[in-house]
Amino acid sequence: MVVGNLRTARVIVDEQAIYDNIDAEVKRLDKGTELFAVVKADAYGHGMVPVARVAKAAGASGFCVALLDEALGLRQAKFTEPILVLGITDPECSALAASGHISLTVGSKAWLVQAKAVMTKEVQLRPLAVHLAIDSGMGRIGFTEISEFLKAVHFMQENPDYFEFEGVFTHFATADEADNTYFDKQVTKFNAYVDALADRPRYVHVSNSATSLWHAACNGNLVRFGVALYGLNPSGRGIEDLPYPLKPALSIETELTFCKKIHAGDSVSYGATYTAEQDEFIGTIPIGYADGWLRRLQGFHVLIDGQFCEMVGRVCMDQFMVRLPQAYPTGTKVTLVGQNQDQTISLQDVADYSNTIHYELACILTPRLPRVYRPLTK
């Protein structure tokens, strides 16, 4: 996708906020516990490589991604730290991952058998680092029976030239909720798998951001630090009590491209869903749903001159309109997410209005919006 560098609209990423969030978490961890920065999905829309650089400087000792392609992108950017691919990768790519010192998630012995067949064809072979996933209740990927899990462990032990059993992990479905009932069931199930091992691998891990923030006793020796890295509360507004303040790293800014006066009875945008009841000023903003600013945000607001201005009419593909308190010149700053004078719109505010979560909103901001990085100040 072409980046809109010549349009006055941008996502601003505060590197200092990312650094501070990671630094605060690292300082809380027990000795010997590592933090891997989760930079999948282009670092939740913040930019994978720039975020990874800041995360490394702040104390992250490795990275988690969702795709092997993302891991290879980090290697191409000269990152040498451990990288774990959290999703299931095609066994046909096992040798490629091994050659790049990239760890893969595995959820069945059958996967290992297929991968061995692939790697047998390689002349220059390097053992593949494997993290076995346990489905303790997420219902997504991983072993559901201890007996099958142990068969996979034994298979790797019998084939040390092909596999290194590097880790075992699970993922919690409700770590970001106040009710711990289901969480505790998952903990018990995962512990049963670990207790069945004669020898533990290097990494035993369960903690995403929510788990580490609110259930730190479960951390194991590795934390997969994701959404909190970007200053976003994993629970949304569900749990407000945090061990340290999270600093949001992302803001969205643009400028007015047009300002006009309309009269009572005039309508705005597709479907004429908004009709003015009196004479008023309307401003046009050069961002739309093609940039990830959702069509259903009609009726929400932006900040202009420190004032909340309602979005009127349907959001278009490339533009939307707002009702202004007065006429403003083109080029006036518009804040969609972030601070404008003494007022703030958070990504959580946008999520609440659009009936989704802030994770989704950050991830759907398209590459058409250039990412501009506010550099570290210390």
Enumerate the active-site residues.
40, 270
Residue 168 corresponds to which tokens in the numbers above?
A: 């075992």
Is 140 annotated for ligand binding?
yes
Is 317 annotated for ligand binding?
yes
Q: Give ∠ CA 359-303-235 in degrees, rounded to 5.
A: 25
Give CA–CA dist 317/24, Å, rounded: 39
Give CA–CA dist 262/56, Å, rounded: 52
Asked if residue 16 lies in contact with residue 374, where contact means CB atoms within 8 angstroms, the answer is yes
Compute and round to an integer the Cα radius of gyration of the chain: 24
- Among 215, 241, 245, 209, residue whose Cα is nearest residue 228: 209
- Among 7, 13, 6, 1, residue whose Cα is nearest residue 337: 13
Instruction: Tell me the angle at which helices 48-58 and 68-76 cross, rounded to the nearest 10 degrees.
Output: 70
Q: Residue 62, CB half-sphere, CA atoms under 13 Å: how many?
A: 19
Binding site members for substrate = 140, 317
Residues in binding site: 140, 317
